[in-house]
Each structure stands twice: as C-alpha cells, then as structure tokens.
Amino acid sequence: MKTRLQLQPNSLRFVASKVAIDGIIFGPLDLLVFFTYMGFSAGKSAPQVKEDVKRDFLPALILEGGIWPILQVANFRFVPVRSPGNS
C-alpha cells in the first residue's frame, strides 16, 4: 500500500488510508464470515443463519465502527510492519 499511494509510513494520511480500507472492506466482510460461521457451527439451517445475519449484522457493524478504528489507528501507527526479507 505504501508504494501504491506514495505515502510515508506512520503519516496521518497513510494511517487514515489503512483504517478506512480496513473499515470499508475488511470490517463488513469479517462480520459476515463470522456470523455465518457461528450460525452454521451452532447447527442452524441456512435460512436461520440468514435471519441471524439480517438481524445482527448492522448493529454489530455500527458498534465495530465506533470502537475498532481507534484501535486500528494505534495498531497502524505504532506497531512496526516487518518486511518479507526481514526476519
């Protein structure tokens, strides 16, 4: 991402871009996978899982949107990224 956007690591724009991408793409996808997996692992049928997702997805996404970005800012700003060549 750093080379594509030409942003300095730890800069405000770099961190904001990563938080936005995480919240817009990965947050909803992760919740959908989580609720689907939890429903099927509990032995529910596909229609039951679909109803659970319809009922729980939006409230969970709103709650996640209020908490997770704060944690991700700290994560993306202060936790160093290891390069593939650096072990």
pLDDT in tens, 59-74: 999 999 889 889 988 8
| Residue 1 within a domain | no
The model's confidence at residue 14, banded by pLDDT at 50, 70 and 90, is confident
Three-state DSSP state, 69: helix
Q: Which amino acid is at 9?
A: P
SS3 content of the chain, % helix, strand, coil (to 5): 75, 0, 25
| Residue 4 within a domain | no
pTM of the model: 0.69
| Residue 60 within a domain | yes
To the nearest whole number, what is the mean pLDDT of the chain? 86
| Residue 84 within a domain | no
Q: Which amino acid is at 23?
A: G
More confident site: 46 or 9: 46
Residue 27 contacts residue 64 (beta carbons within 8 Å): yes
Q: Whole domain around residue 21: which residue ranges?
A: 12-78
Total count of domains within the chain: 1
| Residue 35 within a domain | yes
Q: What percent of the chain has pLDDT over 70?
A: 83
| Residue 23 within a domain | yes
| Residue 49 within a domain | yes
